């Protein structure tokens, strides 16, 4: 069964600090992995999308890594801001958008 | 640029009442359209997707149905709501690899 597991489930950090979110998957076949940011009560917004051959991809203060051999990905947030408070969802695709497997997300809270 | 509109933002409906949620996409042609449900503590669950007008695929058997009367319009319906239909419903579209989500409808069935 295809699965995406994210850790930690929730995280609280101080503003300005860095953090790393983890995503492990058992989806096969694999085409790409996406990270989404979801603010409370809003729809998810795409942060990055990575294919099999990509190890690292950045989007501003967000940097995603992918190890396709170990089937692990991470999302690193640098110099966190209050606006980073949200849920971060890892999504793995076998190549068909109707067959995506979603993680349950990591809820990040950035505090003063 | 492409935009997706989903309404209403929140809805409270009694058990047994009908449901109609609407989603429209602007700025793109022939998009793939999706309805997802997000339950607390669980990943998004795909309910329906459509690759064209009148073409609907259902992923899970349930109390809901979907229709696509126009190229950029996707409607989620129910004839009689159940308590278990409560949740956060998200419409999404894709043309290439990335899914673009609407802002969702929080449905509470009482």
**Inter-chain residue contact B101 with A44, CB threshold 8 Å:** yes
Res A12: pLDDT: 98
Rounded CA-CA distance B85/B58 in Å is 16
Nearest CA in chain B to A10: B41
Residue ranges of B 6-25 with Cβ closer than 8 A to chain A = 6
User: For a pLDDT cut of 70, what percent of chain A falls above it?
Assistant: 100
B41 band by pLDDT with thresholds 50, 70 and 90: confident
Q: Which residues contact B61 (CB under 8 A, 6 or more apart)?
A: none
B28 band by pLDDT with thresholds 50, 70 and 90: confident
Q: What's the token pair of residue A71?
A: 């089937």
**Inter-chain residue contact B99 with A49, CB threshold 8 Å:** no
Res B39: pLDDT: 86
Rounded CA-CA distance A1/B58 in Å is 19
How many A-B residue pairs are in contact by the CB < 8 A criterion?
Answer: 53
Cis amide prior to A53 (ω within 30 degrees)? no
A73 band by pLDDT with thresholds 50, 70 and 90: very high
Report DSSP state, residue A98: G
Query: CA of A99 to nearest chain B CA: how many angstroms apart?
Result: 8
Contacts of B32 in chain A (CB under 8 A): 97-98
Q: Is the pLDDT of residue A46 over 90?
A: yes
β-pairing verdict for A56-59 and A62-67: antiparallel
Res A80: pLDDT: 97
Rounded CA-CA distance A31/A50 in Å is 9
Place of tokens 């278990």: B84
HSE-CB of B93 using CA atoms within 13 angstroms: 24
A57 band by pLDDT with thresholds 50, 70 and 90: very high
- Best residue in A4, A46, A97 to probe B by mutation, most B CBs within 10 Å? A97
Q: Which of A92-96, B32-36, B100-104 shows the lowest per-residue confidence on average (mean pLDDT)?
A: A92-96
Q: Which of A7-16, A33-42, A53-62, B56-65 shows the lowest per-residue confidence on average (mean pLDDT)?
A: B56-65
Rounded CA-CA distance B27/B36 in Å is 22
Total H helices, total E strands in chain A: 0, 11
Res B78: pLDDT: 95
Give the best-scoring range by mean pLDDT among A76-80, B40-44, B99-103.
Answer: A76-80
Res A63: pLDDT: 97
Q: Per-residue DSSP letters for chain B?
A: --EEEEE-SEEEE-TT--EEEEEEEES-SS-EEEEEEE-TTS--EEEEEEEETTEEEESS-SS-EEEEEETTEEEEEESS--GGG-EEEEEEEESSS--EE---EEEEE-
């Amino acid at each position: 069964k295809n699965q995406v597991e994210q850790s930690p489930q929730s995280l609280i950090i101080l503003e300005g600090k860095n953090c790393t979110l983890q995503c492990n998957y058992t989806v096969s076949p694999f085409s790409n992995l996406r990270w989404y940011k979801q603010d409370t009560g809003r729809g998810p917004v795409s942060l990055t999308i990575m294919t099999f051959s990509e190890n690292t991809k950045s989007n501003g203060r967000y940097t995603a890594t992918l190890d396709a051999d170990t089937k692990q990905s991470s999302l690193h947030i640098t110099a966190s801001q209050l606006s980073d408070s949200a849920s971060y969802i890892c999504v793995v695709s076998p190549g068909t958008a109707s067959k995506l497997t979603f993680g349950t997300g990591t809820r990040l809270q950035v505090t003063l | 640029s492409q935009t997706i509109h989903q309404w209403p933002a929140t809805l409270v409906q009694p058990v047994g009442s009908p449901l109609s949620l609407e989603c429209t996409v602007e700025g793109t042609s022939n998009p793939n359209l999706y309805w997802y449900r997000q339950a607390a503590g669980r990943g998004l669950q795909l309910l329906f997707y459509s690759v064209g007008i009148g073409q609907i695929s259902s992923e899970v058997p349930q109390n809901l149905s979907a229709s696509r009367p126009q190229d950029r319009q996707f409607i989620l319906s129910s004839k009689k709501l159940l308590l278990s239909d409560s949740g956060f419903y998200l419409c999404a579209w894709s043309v290439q690899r990335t899914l673009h989500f609407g802002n969702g409808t929080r449905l509470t069935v009482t």
